[in-house]
Chain A
Amino acid sequence: MIIQRLLNHKLAWLGLSLIAIVLLISLFAPLIAPHDPLAVDLMKKLQPSSTTFPLGTDHLGRCILSRLMYGGQVSLSIALIVVMFTTLISLCVGLVAGYFGGRLDHGLMRLCDVFLAFPSLILSLAIVGTLGSSIGNLIFALVATHWAGYARIVRSRVLSVKESHFVQAAIVSGTRSLPIMLRHILPYTLIELTVLATLDISHIVLHIAGLSFLGLGIQPPTPEWGAMINDGREYFRRQPELMLYPGLMLFLTTLAFNLVGDVLRDVLDPRMEKQMRVKTLKTKLENG
């Protein structure tokens, strides 16, 4: 039913199509990319669009189109892994803190506060800078930056669901804490978490791009949109496409996820679920 309502929104269609396009391109990059993204040929450097190189070549003679396609693979797969771990950690923390309350809740929330106190880019820079810029450390840094915000939201949802009568009835029926958390409370946190994650993926992709732009994310020669923007800085006057195309890909991907996330949030808003919607009747009575 939710999927149905989602598909009723035209914006959702746009967002989903864009996501599908980007995902498909990234997935099938090895099959559809015209050239090897790592193939260096200095004789062909900084060429404009041609039939051989549809988007031209970069400063090392590599095909920009191929690098864009492969770049999507890297960014999106890392983003998805980050979202997975973030969701897992924040669910555990949020459920436990919200359900048990007391000192456990206090302690966990103060831990969240510590992580939330740092601006996310600075924190991730610090982690990657200290531990070194491997993909594993990159994922660790991103999860560390994002989990606390999610955990707070999960916890507040748990607090409100905990007060509902069906949870109280389950307690009175003798159900133990773990089954209550998993069977009764968890499903109601997943909805909001999904919306949050969808909107956050674009943040994470931008975050990765940002770190790569600063040289601390994905290391060369692996193609990645942020790194490509960084590479293109020197040649901005001669060949702005080096920055433009990866920037455009980032923009489209971010836009796509944000559109879907926005529509998802509207669709899941419980206040819109009334069947017979009688508008604020006061306004009806006074001025129709």
Chain B
Amino acid sequence: MAEAVLTVDQLRVAFSGRSIVHGVTFELQPGRVLGIIGESGSGKSATCLSMLGLLQRATVEGSVQLAGQELIGLNAAQLRQIRGRKIGMIFQNPASFFNPIATIEQQFTETLRSHQSLTQTDAQSSALHHLSTVGLSEPERVLRQYPFQLSGGMLQRVMIAIALSLKPQVLIADEPTTALDVITQMQILRLIQQLQQQTNCAVLLVTHDLGVIAQMADDVVVMWNGELVEQTSVNQLFDQPQHAYTRSLLAARLTPRLGEKR
């Protein structure tokens, strides 16, 4: 088996003395999608955000290695090198990701130019190229807009475009479709799948929705109350869940699907 691209070992996260994540261990294999499923309060988002030092006022212990490089304990300058370039992130609420008073072009080219030495023109054409990759039909128009002028689905696509434009080894997607409606959700998920297969980057997908796991994940990690209670392949999870919590999650699914008999 190939070497893991991300190795998490006994990761602990605490806020002012209160432990949110109590020692979590898992691996992310290159080119695969690892789904982290849990309810709100299970610590799944905290796990991912703490890896990149994005949680203020949190104490983080343990080890997170990206292809051999230790991430915990890096200073701000070193983390800057990692974020974006080696590990990309997309979030649930695209609006909080963007600066509301700058155009998409300004923000996209700024990101590109801070990680690569490009002229403004080159950055612009790179941005255009990536925006069309994510299925936006009028990328020139999108570049000129401000975030509030775009819908949630379009903003999410822009965020994915920015995250993948830096060609990271790992993409962390924290509830990327929770705020979107049904049709847009499926479009975005399939887009992520498609791009993941094209660029072969590894994806860490955080969600509370088993349907998203069923659609996207190769392997699954189940979190509950800050602990990792089950870790297995996706088919195994649905067919033979081991932990009682996993079984309760599966039992709580609403059935039947629309169109089937009650």
Contacts and interface: CB of A to CB of B under 8 A. Distances in A.
Given A276-B15, A278-B49, A284 B56 contact: no
Given A276-B15, A282-B97, A288 B79 contact: yes
Interface in A247-288: 276-288
Interface in B87-118: 88-89, 91, 96-99, 107, 110-111, 114-115
B114 A286 contact: yes
Contacts of B83: 284-286, 288
Contacts of A279: 54, 56
Contacts of A280: 96-97, 99
Chain A, interface size category, equals: 10 to 19
Given A276-B55, A277-B56, A282 B99 contact: yes
A181 to B, nearest CB: 32
Q: Chain A CB within 10 Å — which of B52, B84, B107 has the most?
A: B84
A282 B77 CA distance: 15
Given A276-B15, A278-B49, A284 B54 contact: yes
Nearest to A280: B99
A288 B99 contact: no
Nearest to B58: A276
A280 B52 CA distance: 14
B141 interface: no
B79 A282 contact: no
B80 interface: yes
Contacts of B55: 276, 278
Given A277-B56, A278-B54, A282-B97, A288 B77 contact: yes
Contacts of A288: 76-77, 79-80, 83
B115 A286 contact: yes
B47 to A, nearest CB: 14
Contacts of A286: 83-84, 110-111, 114-115
Interface in B14-60: 15, 49, 52, 54-56
Given A281-B91, A288-B79, 16 more contacts: A277-B56, A278-B55, A280-B97, A280-B99, A282-B99, A282-B111, A283-B99, A284-B54, A285-B83, A285-B84, A285-B88, A286-B83, A286-B84, A288-B76, A288-B77, A288-B83
Interface of B: 15, 49, 52, 54-56, 76-77, 79-80, 83-84, 88-89, 91, 96-99, 107, 110-111, 114-115
17 contacts: A276-B15, A277-B56, A278-B49, A278-B54, A278-B55, A279-B56, A282-B107, A282-B111, A283-B99, A285-B88, A285-B89, A286-B84, A286-B110, A286-B111, A286-B115, A287-B114, A288-B77
Interface of A: 276-288
**5 closest residue pairs by CB, A with B:** A288-B80, A285-B84, A286-B111, A286-B114, A285-B83
